[in-house]
Amino acid sequence: MRCRLQNEVLELKKTRDQLKEHLLTSQLTLSRLDKTLAILHTDIDVKENTLLVDSSGLSTLRDFIHIEPCVGVAFAMPRCQYDCLQRQKCFPDDARKAK
């Protein structure tokens, strides 16, 4: 039979282990958010350059530039465990809007 103090020690160890797991999860999430932030800053820079080109009257250059849709670092990041062709499984609301 365990005494009350031993039970408290076991409970504290269990709580410590849970906190370590939460810390690891939080650190991984922070790392992912930092990468997303860097991508967003890049996207903002591209948009600012686009606005500069549009406002300076150089937009006629766009006719000569071939731009691939959905190409870039942000589009290469997986959004879920399913393939993009099966988007309705992950985002059923988006699939209904697309129809």
pLDDT the model gives residue 99: 45
Q: Which of 7-21, 32-46, 58-72 has the lowest mean pLDDT?
A: 58-72
> What amino acid occupies position 39?
I
Please enumerate, as own/partner, the contacts of 47-50 that have beta carbons within 8 Å and a separation of 24 or more: none
Whose tokens are 């985002």? That residue is 91
More confident residue, 71 or 40: 40
CB under 8 Å to 77, separation ≥6 — which residues?
36, 39
pLDDT the model gives residue 56: 74
Provide the mean pLDDT of the chain: 76
- Tell me the mean pLDDT in the region 53-71: 66
More confident residue, 94 or 7: 7
Nearest to 79 by CA among 49, 69, 24, 70: 70
Both tokens assigned to 20: 């370590």
Nearest to 44 by CA among 65, 72, 68: 72
User: pTM of the predicted model, to two decimals?
Assistant: 0.49
Please report, for the chain, the start and end positions of each structural domain, with discontinuous segments joined by +: 1-64, 68-99
Q: pLDDT tens, 29-45?
A: 999 999 999 999 999 99
**What percentage of residues in the chain have a pLDDT greater than 90?**
43
